[in-house]
Structures are given as C-alpha cells and as structure tokens.
C-alpha cells in the first residue's frame, strides 16, 4: 500500500518568505509526527498529532513554526519569515495508536528546505 508521502521533495526559498510543507500519512494512522534533521545532527522532534489535535507544541523551534492537521489525515507544517537556520530536511512519520504498545513510525522521504 501507499506509504507516507511528503511534498515538495525540495524547496529553495529566500530568507523572509513563508513556506508550507505537506505530509500525507498512511491511511488509518491516527498519530502523525514531524521531525527536523539539520546537517550533521540527529533528527529533532517537533510536534505530534492525535487525530487533528496537537497536545504539545513545545518542540516547535520558535513561534514562526506552526502545524495543523485536517480530517485526521493531511498535515501541513508552516514556517513564516524563514531564516537560514531553518534549512534542514523535514520528516513526517505516522503510526497506529493502541495503548500499551510500541508501534512503528513510518517515515516519509522528507522535504529538503534550503533558505538562501
């Protein structure tokens, strides 16, 4: 079946512009996660969704970052007034949810964002 998809795969933007990154999770996966991978660093957790709700936004790097999810499916991560330090690969993952278990997170291919 279809995996997690993300678009665009690459985005080059000028400093100060807004960007929107999209994630399409696996159908039926209630949980959706966003991570960021800056060059030479590990993946950094940003935010997760339970259905359409994001209970904890404290992982977002600044108030220029926001995310939403609609219909329990597609999610968008928006970065306003981009800065060069926002350059990174943004990864989305989704998983099933059941209490008491550890469920594999399936990752998308990522969006490589370059801020010039």
Structure token pair of residue 72? 């329990």
Residue 39 lies near another protein (rule: CB under 8 A): no
Nearest-angstrom CA–CA distance, 91 and 108: 6
Phi-psi group of 20: left, alpha or beta (phi > 0 → left; psi -120 to 50 → alpha; rest → beta): beta
Beta carbon of residue 109, minimum distance to another protein (angstroms, whole number): 4
Beta carbon of residue 16, minimum distance to another protein (angstroms, whole number): 30
Residue 61 lies near another protein (rule: CB under 8 A): no
Judged by beta carbon, residue 77 or residue 82, the one nearer another protein is 77
SS3 state at 86: helix
Residue 22 near residue 76 (C-beta atoms within 8 A): yes
What residues line the site for another protein (CB under 8 A)? 3-4, 31, 33, 35, 40-45, 48, 50, 55-56, 59, 91, 93, 97-105, 107-110
């Amino acid at each position: 079946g279809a995996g997690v998809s993300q678009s665009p795969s690459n985005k080059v933007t000028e400093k100060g512009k807004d960007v929107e990154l999209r994630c399409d999770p696996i159908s039926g996966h209630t949980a959706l996660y966003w991570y960021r991978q800056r060059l030479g660093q590990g993946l950094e957790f940003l935010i997760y969704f339970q259905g359409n709700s994001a209970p904890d936004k404290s992982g977002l790097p600044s108030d220029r970052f926001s995310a939403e999810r609609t219909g329990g499916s597609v999610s968008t991560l928006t970065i306003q007034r981009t800065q060069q330090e926002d350059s990174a690969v943004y990864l989305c993952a989704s998983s099933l949810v059941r209490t008491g278990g550890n469920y594999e997170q399936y990752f998308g291919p990522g969006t490589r964002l370059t801020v010039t």
